[in-house]
Amino acid sequence: MIDTRVVQVISVIADKTSKGDWMWRCTTTDGEAFNIFEKQRHLIPLIQDYAGSGYFDETPLKCVVYKNDKGWTNLLRIEHGDYVLSERPFKFNHKWALNVTSAPYMIFDTETTGTDPNTAEICQIAWMVKERNGQIHRHIRLIKPSSPIPPESTAVHGINDDMVANAPTFAEFIPTFLFWLVKSSRIIAYNADYDATIINRQFVEGGLGTTRLDVDCIMRQYWYGRKWGKLSEAIAEIGISTKAWDPEKAHNALYDVDGTYLLLDTMAYLAKGE
Domains of the chain in sequence order:
3-87 (2.40.50.140), 94-272 (3.30.420.10)
Pick from 47, 62, 69: nearest CA to 6: 62
pLDDT one-digit tens code per residue, 178-191:
999 999 999 999 99
Q: The pTM is what? A: 0.70
Q: What's the count of helices (H) and strands (E) in the chain, helices before strands?
A: 10, 11
| Beta pairing class for 215-217 and 186-189 | parallel
Confidence class for position 38, pLDDT limits 50, 70, 90: low
**Quick one: what percent of the chain has pLDDT higher than 90?**
49
pLDDT one-digit tens code per residue, 53-84:
444 444 555 655 544 444 444 455 566 556 55
- What are the phi and psi torsion angles at 64 (to 5°)? -95, 115
Q: Is 97 exposed, middle or buried (0-12, 13-18, 19+ CB in 10 A)?
A: buried
| CA 175 – CA 240 distance, rounded (Å) | 35
**C-beta of residue 185 within 8 angstroms of C-beta of residue 104:** yes
| CA 241 – CA 154 distance, rounded (Å) | 28
